[in-house]
Chain A
């Protein structure tokens, strides 16, 4: 019987096979708890990975074609230099748009550090100009030279200097999330294998009786596999549900929020955790099948 047939057999309820293994035992609680805990952690790792992915995409897309010009000049020259910078930018090939940030926008940028009531007007604040590139981009060195000539206090910040490591970090965080999921899956398999081995050892008498009356190894293994697969499925479903509820408690930070406030799923991503219980059951199926076949093969 191939694996697909065995899974089909497993899915079709076989009350007889289900009953031959005693229902009680610590392996029930161990399997349920392990599956629930692992599913809970998987949901978080999945959310972390997807949040990191969204951040990487967000930073990558939003910042890829944006630059900032910071104009630091005495207050009397600030408006003139700002106007000069905007004029230069209008004439620069590769610049799609440019605009000076309003005092409110600049205050919003500083709000996380200084609070909402910062009197920006009374501080010697540089003026920020945000520009968007066209698809072809602009000549940054040429722009710097022109700015130096027209507005000596203007400094071009291409964003790419600090954007690249952030995008790289977010990408790696996403990979780490997936690596954690793989490790959790492996740990689930190992724990189910341990529990299955314990159950097989504890039920040596049951196995002896089944063999005496003509049960094949496949039948005996199936009785254990079915039980552990269904237990894992139930435990993982509970763990996934708890994990999702826990994620709902985490404050939402919008699609472009940081890791902490964005540690949740967005849109259709909420469907991803639904895969956790069946995948955990598949892991349990193969772990128990291997353990049972190994143990039964080792018996006379």
Chain B
């Protein structure tokens, strides 16, 4: 699905990541942990082509990112659902239109897709919020809406960056179960989080590979998790 081979990324001369190699195999589940500012978000951005490595190679669905033009990256991104901690939405559009935005920009909006949207909104428990504007939603609702938006095009890979950062424990468990359910449906999932409790809670639900970024390098997380 997505492969990083000896990737380094530096910004304004400062090395953020170096020597990072990883393959996100189909159907795999990864946790990526590390302290704030360690480079977790940078890692995810490299995975979905929002950043290009300064060294090494990133392959997205078998294509070398360096050889992909901007449109090709956009097309690849439609196969990758991304959930951000800050849940960026278009605040002037109702929630349903925000969730359906990937359909709109890819020209796939149709009555059939409207059914999918309803199913998805029901699955994340937001059927009552169709017409609500994003600023009117709670943190948990925004996270679930972001997850629904990431799933509307039925992507192969889901990358979640601190998806439980702004929600309480109960909601974070609910989101985790949603992501595990998606993984059981065959989706590749990677969750970047500094919440070790979340990773521990997932142990009974999914066989995840735990990784840690420390000192700009990617390592297998130890037994402390």
A297 to B105, CA, bound (A): 18
**Contact residues in B for A16 (Cβ distance below 8 Å):** 104-105, 109
A217 interfacial by beta-carbon distance below 8 Å = yes
- The answer to whether A217 and B71 have CB atoms under 8 Å apart is yes
**Contact residues in A for B92 (Cβ distance below 8 Å):** 22-23
- The answer to whether B105 and A217 have CB atoms under 8 Å apart is no
Within B11-61, which residues are at the interface with A (CB < 8 Å)? 50-52
- The answer to whether A214 and B74 have CB atoms under 8 Å apart is yes
B77 interfacial by beta-carbon distance below 8 Å = yes
Q: A22-B92, A219-B105, A300-B50 are in contact. Are A212 and B70 (CB under 8 A)?
A: no
Q: What string of 1s and 0s marks CB contacts (under 8 Å) between A15-32 and chain B? A: 011011011000000000
A210 interfacial by beta-carbon distance below 8 Å = yes
**Contact residues in B for A12 (Cβ distance below 8 Å):** none
The A interface, classified by DSSP as helix, strand, loop or mixed, is helix
A161 to B89, CA, bound (A): 75
Q: A20-B90, A23-B92, A206-B90 are in contact. Are A214 and B51 (CB under 8 A)?
A: no
Interface centre among A23, A208, A212 (most CB of B within 10 A): A212
- The answer to whether B75 and A214 have CB atoms under 8 Å apart is yes
Interface centre among B50, B78, B90 (most CB of A within 10 A): B90
**Contact residues in B for A214 (Cβ distance below 8 Å):** 74-75, 77-78, 102, 105-106, 153
**Contact residues in A for B194 (Cβ distance below 8 Å):** none
Q: A213-B102, A216-B71 are in contact. Are A19 and B93 (CB under 8 A)?
A: yes
B82 interfacial by beta-carbon distance below 8 Å = yes
Partner of A215, one of B50, B52, B74, B84: B74
**Contact residues in A for B75 (Cβ distance below 8 Å):** 214, 216
Closest approach, in angstroms, between the C-beta of B17 and any C-beta of chain A?
16
- The answer to whether B105 and A212 have CB atoms under 8 Å apart is no
A179 to B220, CA, bound (A): 70
B141 interfacial by beta-carbon distance below 8 Å = no
A205 interfacial by beta-carbon distance below 8 Å = yes
Q: What string of 1s and 0s marks CB contacts (under 8 Å) between A206-237 and chain B? A: 10111111111111000000000000000000
Q: How many residues of A contact B (CB 8 A)?
A: 23
**Contact residues in A for B74 (Cβ distance below 8 Å):** 211, 214-217
**Contact residues in A for B51 (Cβ distance below 8 Å):** 300
Interface centre among B50, B104, B106, B149 (most CB of A within 10 A): B104
Closest approach, in angstroms, between the C-beta of B50 and any C-beta of chain A?
7
Closest approach, in angstroms, between the C-beta of B190 and any C-beta of chain A?
16
A167 to B52, CA, bound (A): 65
- The answer to whether A212 and B71 have CB atoms under 8 Å apart is no
- The answer to whether A217 and B109 have CB atoms under 8 Å apart is no
- The answer to whether B70 and A216 have CB atoms under 8 Å apart is yes
A210 to B104, CA, bound (A): 10
- The answer to whether A19 and B105 have CB atoms under 8 Å apart is no
Interface centre among A19, A20, A216, A217 (most CB of B within 10 A): A216
A212 to B105, CA, bound (A): 11
A20 to B71, CA, bound (A): 19
Closest approach, in angstroms, between the C-beta of A197 and any C-beta of chain B?
19
A205 to B97, CA, bound (A): 16
B101 interfacial by beta-carbon distance below 8 Å = yes
**Contact residues in B for A19 (Cβ distance below 8 Å):** 93, 97
A213 to B77, CA, bound (A): 7
Q: A16-B109, A19-B97, A212-B77 are in contact. Are A217 and B70 (CB under 8 A)?
A: yes
B88 interfacial by beta-carbon distance below 8 Å = yes
Q: What string of 1s and 0s marks CB contacts (under 8 Å) between B58-100 and chain A? A: 0000000000001100110110001010001111110001000
- The answer to whether A209 and B70 have CB atoms under 8 Å apart is no
Closest approach, in angstroms, between the C-beta of B140 and any C-beta of chain A?
20
Q: A213-B101, A214-B153 are in contact. Are A208 and B109 (CB under 8 A)?
A: no
- The answer to whether B93 and A211 have CB atoms under 8 Å apart is no
The 3 A-B pairs of least Cβ separation, nearest first, read: A214-B78, A215-B105, A16-B104
Interface positions of B (Cβ within 8 A of A): 50-52, 70-71, 74-75, 77-78, 82, 84, 88-93, 97, 101-102, 104-106, 109, 149, 153
Interface positions of A (Cβ within 8 A of B): 16-17, 19-20, 22-23, 205-206, 208-219, 296-297, 300
Q: Give me 24 A-to-B residue pairs in the complex whose CB atoms sit less than 8 angstroms apart, sorted by A's number.
A: A16-B104, A16-B105, A17-B104, A19-B93, A19-B97, A20-B105, A23-B92, A205-B88, A208-B88, A209-B89, A211-B50, A211-B77, A212-B82, A213-B77, A213-B105, A213-B149, A214-B77, A214-B102, A214-B106, A214-B153, A215-B105, A216-B74, A216-B75, A300-B50
